[in-house]
C-alpha cells in the first residue's frame, strides 16, 4: 500500500477515535408550547444546529404548560396535578408523547414543524399534519396524548422542571453541560451553534470552522 495512503488512513482513524472519546455537548432545554421565544429557538436555533452538529450533541427536552394547571403537593413530596382545560395543552401532550416515543432527530423535526405550522394554534391539526409529513405514527401519538400515558408524561414534565437548579424563571430555559447563567442563556438562545462549537472539546467539525 502506498505510504501516503497508509498515513492518511492512520490519521483518519486517529481523528475518529479521538472524536469518539470526547464527551458530547450536553444540552437540556425546558420549554412551553405557547411560548414565542420557545418556538423561535427550536425552529431557528436548536433544530438547524442539530441538523449540522448532531453528532457532537446530547440533547434532553422537557415540556410543560404552566399556564393551564393546578397542583397540590402531597406529604411525600409528589404532586397531584389537574389540567384546567385539556384543549389548551394538546400541543404539550402531543410533543411530550413524541419525545417519549421517538429518537431526538425525529422529535426535533416534529417540534420544529409544529412550531412553524400555519395550524400552530390548532394544536391537534398541527400535530397530525406534521406527524404524517414526517412519517410518524399519528394514531399511536394521539392515543398517548389523549390517554393516561400523556397525562403521566405531563406530570413528569412538571416534576423535572421543579427539580431544575437554578429555578426556572422564563422559557426556553437552556442548560449547557449542567450549567446555567444569564450569559450562557443569552448565547444559547441567540447563537446556539457558536456556543456548541466553542464548548465542544474535540476536533471541530467543518461547520464550526467558518463561524
Q: Domains (ranges, CATH) in the chain?
A: 28-208 (3.40.30)
Nearest partner of 56 among 162, 200, 155, 192, judged by Cα: 200
Nearest partner of 194 among 95, 2, 49, 92, judged by Cα: 49
Query: Rounded to 10 degrees, what is the CA torsion of 197, 198, 199, 200?
Result: 50
What are the Cα distances from residue 169, in Å, to 31, 76, 158, 162, 164? 11, 25, 14, 11, 11
pLDDT attached to residue 210: 82
Nearest partner of 31 among 166, 177, 168, judged by Cα: 168
Nearest partner of 55 among 198, 196, 184, judged by Cα: 196
pLDDT attached to residue 88: 75
Q: What grid cell was written down for 133?
A: 409529513
Centroid of chain to Cα 187 = 17
For residue 181, the number of C-alpha atoms closer than 13 Å in the C-beta half-sphere is 5
The tens place of each residue's pLDDT in the chain, 211 residues long, gives 555 555 545 555 555 555 568 999 999 999 999 999 999 999 999 999 999 999 999 999 999 987 655 556 667 766 555 655 566 799 999 999 999 999 999 999 999 999 999 999 999 999 999 999 999 999 999 999 999 999 899 889 988 998 999 999 999 999 999 999 999 999 999 999 999 999 999 999 999 988 8
Amino acid at each position: 500500500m502506498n505510504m501516503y495512503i497508509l498515513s492518511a488512513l492512520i490519521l483518519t482513524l486517529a481523528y475518529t477515535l479521538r472524536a469518539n472519546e470526547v464527551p458530547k455537548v450536553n444540552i437540556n432545554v425546558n420549554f412551553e408550547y405557547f411560548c414565542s421565544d420557545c418556538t423561535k429557538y427550536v425552529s431557528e436555533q436548536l433544530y438547524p444546529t442539530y441538523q449540522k452538529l448532531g453528532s457532537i450533541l446530547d440533547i434532553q427536552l422537557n415540556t410543560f404548560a404552566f399556564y393551564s394547571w393546578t397542583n397540590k403537593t402531597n406529604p411525600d413530596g409528589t404532586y397531584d396535578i389537574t389540567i384546567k382545560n385539556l384543549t389548551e395543552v394538546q400541543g404539550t401532550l402531543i410533543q411530550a408523547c413524541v419525545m417519549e416515543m421517538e429518537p431526538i432527530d425525529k422529535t426535533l423535526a416534529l417540534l420544529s414543524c409544529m412550531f412553524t405550522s400555519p395550524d400552530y394554534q390548532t394544536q391537534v391539526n398541527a400535530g397530525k399534519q406534521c406527524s404524517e409529513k414526517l412519517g410518524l405514527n399519528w394514531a399511536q401519538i394521539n392515543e398517548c396524548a389523549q390517554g393516561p400515558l400523556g397525562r403521566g408524561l405531563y406530570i413528569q414534565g412538571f416534576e423535572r422542571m421543579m427539580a431544575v437548579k437554578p429555578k426556572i424563571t422564563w422559557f426556553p430555559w437552556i442548560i449547557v453541560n449542567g450549567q446555567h447563567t444569564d450569559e450562557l442563556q443569552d448565547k444559547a438562545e441567540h447563537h446556539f451553534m457558536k456556543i456548541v462549537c466553542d464548548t465542544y472539546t474535540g476536533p471541530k467539525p467543518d461547520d464550526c470552522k467558518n463561524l
